[in-house]
């Protein structure tokens, strides 16, 4: 049986690039898409000139303005982002139906059965998206989805500072572990700033270090998650794509650089996540019947809660309200939070009313 091949595509700085298409005068401007700094807004996307100042997605807008005093703050235009994303995904569906859209600006394709040369295919896709939709993208190809995702991040980090990367990074079969070995542990999906710092304090600086670290020590420090960490660092990932019909949930998570106890910041972050989840539902033409939240404390323990809605929804305001209610019920002691997330499940393609009562329960 032929080795699997996956192509991971990331629309570079998507919201910011969409805003440039709306207003060409922004092309060389330091700007960020998101909420007002006066109202504890969060950066949703930053232009590449702004990134040179350290402005990043998920950062409080007030911090972004301190880093870049001339920063222009642009309110998001989600309807426009959804339309452009839908057009790109429709194009990719002409290449293969074996694809999974993971967010409004990320998608993974199973290209195992395609006859194309991987590099030629990646170049064709990148060129077509640039010419047809005026959007830049970076791509990674590997035998495992997680490695392909790392390849995308690796390519983007090698780009010229202040410019859109438009990278293509291909990991030849059998070289996954060697490709990952010299890379910093923080590049691996699922390793946020706090976990990266914890690994580095233990002496684990690179994925190569992690790949050969004694498993007993990893399990002592991180429990069962230690095994997943090591396998990921070794390039072992047997996960498959989930097509639209298979996918049972949609979620957004954010790991903070420092543990957060600021209630307003947490609520603002969840509102942003709810909007992203709503975007995905509308892109896919789906409605959710369950809203979930996830909170990870400073000691890596995790709490999840969920609520069944009175009727299916794809509306950001409904998801935001439900997640806010769950958060208020669960976060009573102002305990520091290192990760927070919002998700939905019970997906369906119709909006028929359900005779369910709204209820909250532990996941």
Catalytic residues: 106
The closest of 43, 29, 15 to 136, measured between CA atoms, is 15
Residue spans of alpha helices (H) in the chain: 14-22, 48-51, 61-67, 78-93, 118-133, 145-157, 176-180, 193-201, 207-211, 215-222, 225-233, 263-284, 316-330
CB neighbour burial string for 184-214, b if at least 16 within 10 angstroms, e if fewer: ebbbbeebbebbbebbeeeebebbbbbbebe
Q: What is the full DSSP assignment across 59-93?
A: SBHHHHHHH-TTPEEE---HHHHHHHHHHHHHHHH
Nearest-Å Rg of the Cα atoms of the chain is 20
Structure tokens that stand for 230 in this block? 């090591």
Residue 298 CB coordination number (10 Å): 14
Distance CA 345, CA 286 (A): 10
The closest of 49, 39, 57 to 164, measured between CA atoms, is 49
Phi, psi (rounded to 5 degrees) for 211: -65, -30
- Asked if 118 contacts 5 with a C-beta cutoff of 8 angstroms, the reply is yes
């Amino acid at each position: 049986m032929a080795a699997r091949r996956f192509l991971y595509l990331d629309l570079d700085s998507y919201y910011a690039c969409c805003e440039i298409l709306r207003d060409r005068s922004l092309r060389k401007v330091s700007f960020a898409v998101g909420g007002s700094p006066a109202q504890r807004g969060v950066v949703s996307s930053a232009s590449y000139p702004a990134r040179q100042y350290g402005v990043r997605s998920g950062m409080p807008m007030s911090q972004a303005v301190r880093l870049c005093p001339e920063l222009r703050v642009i309110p998001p235009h989600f309807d426009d982002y959804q339309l452009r994303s839908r057009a790109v995904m429709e194009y990719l569906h002409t290449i293969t139906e074996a694809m999974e859209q993971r967010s409004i600006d990320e998608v993974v394709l199973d290209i195992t059965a395609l006859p194309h040369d991987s590099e030629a295919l990646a170049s064709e896709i990148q060129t077509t998206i640039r010419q047809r939709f005026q959007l830049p993208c970076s791509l990674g190809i590997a035998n495992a989805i997680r490695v392909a995702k790392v390849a995308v991040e690796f390519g983007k980090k090698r780009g010229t500072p202040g410019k859109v990367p438009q990278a293509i990074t291909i990991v030849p079969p059998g070289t996954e572990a060697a490709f990952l070995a010299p890379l910093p542990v923080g590049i691996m999906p699922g390793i946020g700033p706090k976990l990266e710092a914890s690994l580095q304090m233990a002496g684990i600086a690179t994925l190569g270090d992690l790949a050969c670290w004694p498993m007993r020590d990893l399990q002592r420090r991180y429990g069962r998650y230690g095994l997943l960490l090591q396998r990921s660092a070794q390039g072992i990932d047997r996960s498959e794509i989930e097509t639209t019909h298979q996918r049972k949930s949609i979620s957004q998570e954010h790991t903070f650089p420092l543990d957060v106890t600021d209630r307003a910041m947490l609520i603002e972050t969840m509102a942003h996540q709810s909007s992203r989840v709503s975007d995905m539902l509308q892109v896919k033409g789906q409605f959710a019947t369950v809203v979930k939240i996830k909170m990870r404390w400073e000691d890596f323990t995790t709490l999840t809660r969920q609520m069944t809605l009175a009727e299916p929804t794809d509306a950001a305001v409904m998801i935001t309200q439900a997640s806010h209610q769950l958060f208020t019920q669960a976060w009573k002691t102002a305990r520091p939070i290192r990760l927070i997330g919002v998700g939905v499940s019970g997906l369906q393609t119709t909006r028929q009313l359900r005779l369910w009562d709204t209820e909250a329960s532990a996941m």
